[in-house]
Structure 1
Amino acid sequence: MATRTEPPAQDGRLSAAAEVLGGWRARAADLADGFRRSDRFFKMRAGIVAAWAVLSLLTLWGSCATPGQHNALGADVQVNRDSIMGTQLLVRNDSDRNWEDVVLTLDDGWRYAQPTLRPQDLVVLSVSSFRKGDEAPPRDHRPRALRISCRQGSGRFDLR
């Protein structure tokens, strides 16, 4: 003799969700049927509006770069060539960890060292702050690349 098992306590919530889903399906079917019966000009206008909406969303998605780290070190590097102080470099620690024993190296071995760079800290340096031995770079030196090395990792950045 088979015994009947009691339905789970959530059965009432599931049937309510199925009812809501069924209502939405019926409305969607009515909308689709109405669209099928509409004239050609309405369909063209709806297509234009839909294309505009899709292109607008794609444009917004493409233009809004995702914030956050774009390299393994979590560094943000910018160069300002038009400063009255000469060419300046901005280096920011965008990671959530301290960088220790930081060494910044320009193209041909011009170096700048700093013991620590905490998260969200930044350092702005003129090219004359870098050294190779006791020498500074020439006044007209235009850096092409920067390498950041620290205990937490390293990264190379092209300076545009």
Structure 2
Amino acid sequence: MKDKFLCVMAQYDKETELKLKEIQKLLSDNGFVGKQTPNLPNHITIGSFDISQEELVKEKVKMVSKQFHSFDIKLNSIGLFGLDVLFIAPSVNHELLNLQQYFNNDYADGFGWTAHTTMLIDDHETIQKALPYLANNFKNFTGKIESISLYEFWPTRFILKEKLL
């Protein structure tokens, strides 16, 4: 991916955010800090765009907030991208899929889209050691997607956040 890009994120409600932060704290308390972007809210990335499209994407985010309702999402599995990223994945429902398709523009350079919330990014050895902590302590739960946000990356710049209906 290019050095600078825009990222549209589906964000959780406060209660879901707290549950995910507890899981991250468990990892951190056991020495797994990772290389993930600090100070970002937990989220599901639903699209990425060239920075030249900022105004267009901002308008899309605003339109989505007037067309889509907040919705429940079942966070029910853990997964890996290679051995570099450890994540929690939702059961993709119609609401999430419709939201992602609204922003679809060949996400992730043609590799497809996997709904997930990153818990840890690190080297292979660290991920392999962290996996049992997450696997042994994660329990399925239902969360809620309540807003959409837009960020620019590298460096991280918050642009906009809109609540869903």
TM-score normalized with structure 2 length: 0.21
Whichever structure has more strand as a proportion of its residues is 2
The one of the two structures with greater contact order (alpha-carbon pairs below 8 A, sep at least 6) is 2
Q: TM-score, normalised by structure 1?
A: 0.22
